[in-house]
Structure 1
Amino acid sequence: MSLALYQPYDLIQQLNGEMNRLFSASSSAEAQASQWRPAVDIRESDAGFAIVLDVPGVDPADIEITADDGELVIQGKREASESSETETFCKVERVSGTFYRRFRLPDTANAEAIAATSEHGVLTVSIPKQEKAQPRKIAVSVNS
């Protein structure tokens, strides 16, 4: 017989996560099917925006980023660790499966120049701002 340490707060955190997932603003089929949501930071500077996601253990090749109609969608998959014939899991806390995050791009975002990098399990999506339109003089032509 093996003993397991009782962690009452684990159940509360699990319930909180399920409630957040249930009542999240995102109601698309993809978001409903996602099995976990990476933590996100969003920063703004004079030059642009940065969306930073924690995606440890996710192969960058398994991440898909699309920008369309003023929305940025980031989705991917983290493969589950598999037990072998010589070992079995005693506890599994790391989440695996698909994830899906959707963000509304601000009007000032330059969707054509979005770039993404991944380093040490952190995905950074850089969204530059569009250059502001400079005022220009318009010549008046005379119709005769």
Structure 2
Amino acid sequence: MKTLEKTNPSNESQSLESLVENFWKNDDLVDQLAKTEPTVNIIDKNGVYKIKVSAPGFKKKDFKVAVEDETLIISAATSAEKKEEKENYVRKEFSASSFVRSFRLPDSISLGHIKANYKGGLLNITINKSNLDKKEVKEIKIR
């Protein structure tokens, strides 16, 4: 029986030591340091996988959770813009944040019994174990 596995779409894995070592050699260091992923806890208990994604600063509408090709894909994107105009200056600030996390699913899950909710900066996904139709694509509604 397969277990839930983390996948890394970029196949990049660097330690802090290698980043420091290559500081002066690496032109895209800022890009590498800016890559952030929310932390995830996965619990396998009583016939259910519980996935908890810590993602404060997002709204429920920012998330997309889907299953495709035996992979659970969790993504979110948000942006904000603020403009302040005064007599002598204009200040315009903006921010954007996004992430994608994916996990290979075992054969023993049921696509019809996946639930997700987002509250207080925490995305909770519950996946019941059963049989997976491997060809099916399903988007999960977040409550």
TM-score, structure 1 as length reference: 0.57
Note the residue ranges of structure 2 that are not aligned, 5 or more in a row. 1-6, 12-30, 132-143
The structure that has the greater radius of gyration is 1
* CA–CA distance in structure 2, aligned partners of residues 39 and 96 of structure 1: 19
Q: Please tell me the residue identity of whatever aligns with 1:122.
A: L
Q: Which has the higher strand share?
A: 2
Q: Which has the higher contact order (CA 8 A, sep 6+)?
A: 2
Q: CA RMSD in A?
A: 3.0
Look up the SS of the partner of 1:61 in the other structure.
helix
Could you say which residue in structure 2 is the equivalent of 1:26? 9
Note the residue ranges of structure 1 that are not aligned, 5 or more in a row. 1-23, 89-94, 132-144
* CA–CA distance in structure 1, aligned partners of residues 53 and 59 of structure 2: 13
Does 1:46 pair with 2:46? Answer: yes
Q: Please tell me the residue identity of whatever aligns with 1:42.
A: I
Q: Which has the higher helix share?
A: 1
Consecutive aligned runs of 4 or more in structure 1 exceeding 6 Å deviation: none
Look up the SS of the partner of 2:109 in the other structure.
coil
Does 1:102 pair with 2:95? Answer: no
Task: Report the identity percentage.
Answer: 27
Aligned length: 99
Q: Is the 2:76–2:99 Cα contact (8 Å) retained in structure 1?
A: yes
